[in-house]
Amino acid sequence: MGIERSNEISSLSMTASSWKPGDYPHAARLHANVSWCAARNEQDEYLEVDLGKEFTLARIAMQGDPDEYSGVSRFAIAFSRNGGEWTDYKINGARMVSASTFILTDE
């Protein structure tokens, strides 16, 4: 499964806390010639992706926009089974924060 391919994750399944004009949430796909960009540079900005059903994810990666020399410097992951109650992804009780890629399993 890959968010970079719109046939697997619909653009309608992607939303965000905010975005700059033209930098919509559905543009947050790897190896695309467009990107999502939050309207503000604040810690609580988020991108939300509804996978439609439960999945086991092995990796999550981010990439910046090379044309704008910008990108996410750190990110954390939270998950929800109902879209309302969110749980931080933790290992040994510690919230995981990464600069570019999460390796979630040993696969």
Contacts of 70 (CB under 8 A, 6+ apart): 37, 64
CA distance 18 to 32: 20
3-state class (DSSP) for residue 11: helix
85 backbone dihedrals φ, ψ, rounded to 5°: -105, 120
Print pLDDT tens along the chain (107 aa).
457 666 778 889 999 999 999 899 998 888 888 888 889 888 889 999 998 888 887 778 777 776 666 667 778 889 898 888 999 888 888 887 876 666 665 44
The confidence score (pLDDT) of residue 7 equals: 73
- Among 10, 17, 5, smallest CA distance to 41 is for 17
Q: Which amino acid is at 2?
A: G
